[in-house]
Amino acid sequence: MNRDELLKKLTILDFMATDLCLYLDTHPEDLEAISQYNRIIAEADEVRCKYENCYGGLCSYRSGSSGRCWNWIEDPWPWCEEFNFKICERWN
């Protein structure tokens, strides 16, 4: 997967985890939802690690440093337009 594909996959998984979390707030004994939530969290962690190993940290407290300097400032930050993938061409 390239950078944009990993970022899209992570965005989808994080959205699913948030949605299931909200559902579980009102249905805390739904074992199927708990199982899905745990699976999605594990998959998101894998994708997040894969992304960060290839392209750097997604947030400052997970980005690490080379020891020479603070690497977080070297790449576009997640809230910068050039960091994010395009959702729809007509919104460019």
Q: Which position has the token pair 């007509």? A: 90
Distances 90 to 77, 80, 81 between C-alpha atoms, Å: 23, 19, 15
Percent of the chain residues past pLDDT 70, beyond the cut:
70
What is residue 66's predicted lDDT score, i.e. its pLDDT? Answer: 53
Calculate ∠ Cα 77-8-10, nearest 5°: 80
Over residues 34-66, the pLDDT tens digits come to 999 999 999 999 999 998 888 877 776 665 555
Over residues 67-80, the pLDDT tens digits come to 555 666 666 766 77
Q: Provide, for the chain, the percentages of residues in helix, strand and coil under a 3-state DSSP scheme, each rounded to the nearest 5.
A: 65, 0, 35
| 43: exposed, middle or buried (Cβ count in 10 Å: 0-12, 13-18, 19+) | middle
